[in-house]
Amino acid sequence: MSRRLLVLGGAATASLALAASAFGKTQLLVTGATELGASARTVVQVRAETSDAAPSKVTIYLPSGYAANLGQTAGTQIGTVTASAQRLMLSPDAVDVPGTIVADTPANYASSFCAPGLHAAVWLVHLDVQGTTVDVPVYVDRTTGSEAPFSSAKLVLCLANPYEQAVPGTRAPTGLRLVDMKLTLSAGMVTNSTFAGSFVWRAVVTPWTANGAAENAPGTIEAQSIVNIPSALSLKAKVQTKRHTKGGRTAVANSVLLSGKLLADMKGVAGARITFFANGKTVGSTPTGTDGAFMRKTSLTRTTTLRATATVPTRETTCVSPLSVTAAPAGCSAATIAGYKIGSDTLTARPRTR
């Protein structure tokens, strides 16, 4: 069975639990390629609480310098989605909602309630809600006018009211609202800037009045995700040998000193977890220091292939150059630096025998 959520005039949509004012702390988290001009799987997540007001409209802005690929043929799968959702007409409990993202024909969506007109692209999210397919369109356009200085492209979702106070005939089927939505776009969909920097992704969220029928425009908030590129993990290996002579015989003991640095936007990243591997097996870990540097010694008994990975945790930070009160009257609610994982080059170390 397939259903399409309708918004006030008949455009397909759904409702996401993203928040504002009645918001706790709506968060935007973005991860993707770590190199300049590179394209890899890009994850865009909007996360909130079940107690937050459901949104009427969500706009996600790609930073200036980034490029969005909008030329896919209708029907092409361009990603996946994972989410948790409430069905307020049935239960307040959230359930897991998987899905796929496919390109669709923009001409089919020109009458969207909150984003009317012909769009450069429409990405249709197919959600599997307990056996029922729900379609959620994402309207994608290059930015112009006042949005162009801080963004290259935007993704817009128009979201049906899940509350029982909704205008008759416009309530989201089963009162559906997504508490947490993570869009994973395939490699080739988003390409990094070709110059280094600290880039600000933004989500602007306008809520419905909590448990009401009207949109709460003064409650519109901004959430940010900061992405610092490029990121790089260096690794050096220095073989150290100790010799012990006893009874005319010399014993040789080898170890290898592993060191390096984790950088993002040419600056050291503190507090990341560095995990070391020898011939594919874990041989310990250590955190990076304030300048992103790390060091650890491990034994070396034979020729060994060495590498390291860095796991960077999600961190909260302060908002950067928030949008005007015209765009987000309730201000910037939260900013994060999303976590990611990156690997080093592979090295080979050989023990000395004498």
Q: Write down the pTM of the prediction.
A: 0.88
pLDDT above 80 (res 5): no
C-alpha to C-alpha distance for 84 and 54, rounded to whole angstroms:
14
pLDDT at 353: 79
Place of tokens 């959600």: 127
pLDDT at 247: 67
Question: pLDDT tens digits for 161-218?
Answer: 899 999 999 898 889 988 889 999 999 999 999 999 999 999 999 998 877 788 999 9
pLDDT band at 24 (very low <50, low <70, confident <90, very high): low
Q: Select the more confidently predicted residue: 48 or 107.
A: 107
10 Å Cβ neighbour count for 341? 14
pLDDT at 132: 85
C-alpha to C-alpha distance for 349 and 226, rounded to whole angstroms:
37
Q: Select the more confidently predicted residue: 251 or 292.
A: 292
pLDDT band at 17 (very low <50, low <70, confident <90, very high): very low
**Of 53-67, 93-107, 200-214, where does mean pLDDT reach its minimum?**
200-214
When computed from its CA atoms, the radius of gyration of the chain, rounded to whole angstroms, is: 25
CATH of 232-313+340-349, one of 3.40.50.300, 2.60.40.10, 3.40.50.620, 3.30.413.10: 2.60.40.10
Question: pLDDT tens digits for 303-320?
Answer: 999 999 999 999 999 999
**Of 7-11, 131-135, 191-195, 299-303, where does mean pLDDT reach its minimum?**
7-11
Beta bridge partners of 264: 231, 267
DSSP track, 104-164: E-GGGGTT-SSS-S--SEEEEEEEEETTEEEEEEEEEEE--GGGTTTEEEEEEEE----ST
In the chain, residues under CATH classification 2.60.40.10 are 232-313+340-349
Percentage with pLDDT > 90 across the chain: 72
Give me the chain's average pLDDT, please. 89
Question: Which segments of 22-76 are extended strands (E)?
Answer: 27-31, 42-47, 55-63, 67-68
pLDDT band at 19 (very low <50, low <70, confident <90, very high): very low
Q: Residues 246-267: what's their mean pLDDT?
A: 89
Q: Select the more confidently predicted residue: 56 or 335.
A: 335
Handedness of CA 101, 104, 107, 111 (dihedral sign): negative
